[in-house]
Amino acid sequence: MSALVIDAEAVSEFLDKAEPLVGENDIGRWNQVLALRARTVPDVLRDDRRSLLAVPATARLGEEARRIWDGCKEPLREDILWHPHHAIAELASMAAPPWLWDWATFWLGAVWPGDFVWWPRWMFLPQTQTGAVALVLADPACLVVDTRQLYAQIGQAARFTEQVMESLHRIPKVEPPYRHLIALAMVYTVYLFTMTSWRLTEEFTHVLPPFPKVVTSLLGIRRWEDYGIAKGESN
């Protein structure tokens, strides 16, 4: 298996396409909300409704998914707060579905931002071998491993992306360790817009959401602010 290497040139090419489509205010707001998450984590995580709404993948759970979540939420929540490595071991041992990895690692990344990363499905989805990380790796085939090892590799890719962003001096106003998340969301949004322009007619591409709104949606920021998650407001 080849080593995990972030292709700095690929990252730069994606950002060259993305940066003209976002403003300083967009980037500043993303950074602000990601930092806000870190300050409000314990209260939100312990609230069933708000902790689900905060993560795009779990905002609307079906009946079967809800049963899975109800059965593991309490021990998983405590492990996220106090024993993060055990949380990862539990997710791997129960063969957790992608949405549960998404939920749990969202909160791991919020509680332990320097050590754990959020693994949303847009970052890398093993079933289809697609996602932002695959787009910027020198060899995406290196990600074909078991789930626990794969999460470790996603974390490694995130840290390497932080280093690449630092060396390229890209989006410097975003604080580490959030720079990789915003950069990869921008990478994936460029990919979405590119694929859509290939597959749809010009008339349909004109009704796509603005580029910054897609990035905001991937980051889950609208759910955090618009649903009053940080302040505990009602819907």
In the prediction, which pLDDT does 37 show?
78
What pLDDT, on a 0 to 100 scale, did the predictor assign at position 71? Answer: 95
pLDDT at 229: 57
Residue 177 to residue 105: CA distance in whole angstroms: 15
**Which pLDDT score, from 0 to 100, does residue 234 have?**
38
pLDDT, tens digit (0-9, with 9 covering 90-100), for 179-226? 999 999 999 999 998 887 755 555 555 567 899 999 999 998 865 555
Taking residue 196's Cβ as centre, other Cβ atoms within 10 Å add up to 12
> Rounded to whole angstroms, what are the CA distances from 199 to 21, 132, 143, 212, 218?
21, 19, 27, 21, 21
Both tokens assigned to 225: 């602010």
CB count in 10 Å sphere of residue 86: 14
Axis crossing angle, helix 147-168 with helix 179-199, rounded to the nearest 10: 100
- The predicted structure's pLDDT at residue 186: 97
Tokens 């590119």 appear where? 194
Q: What is the pLDDT of residue 228?
A: 55
Q: Which residues of the chain have pLDDT under 70?
A: 1, 198-207, 222-235
pLDDT at 160: 96
For 169, the token pair is 């001096």
Question: From CA 78, how far away is CA 125, in angstroms rounded?
Answer: 26
Residue 233's pLDDT is: 46
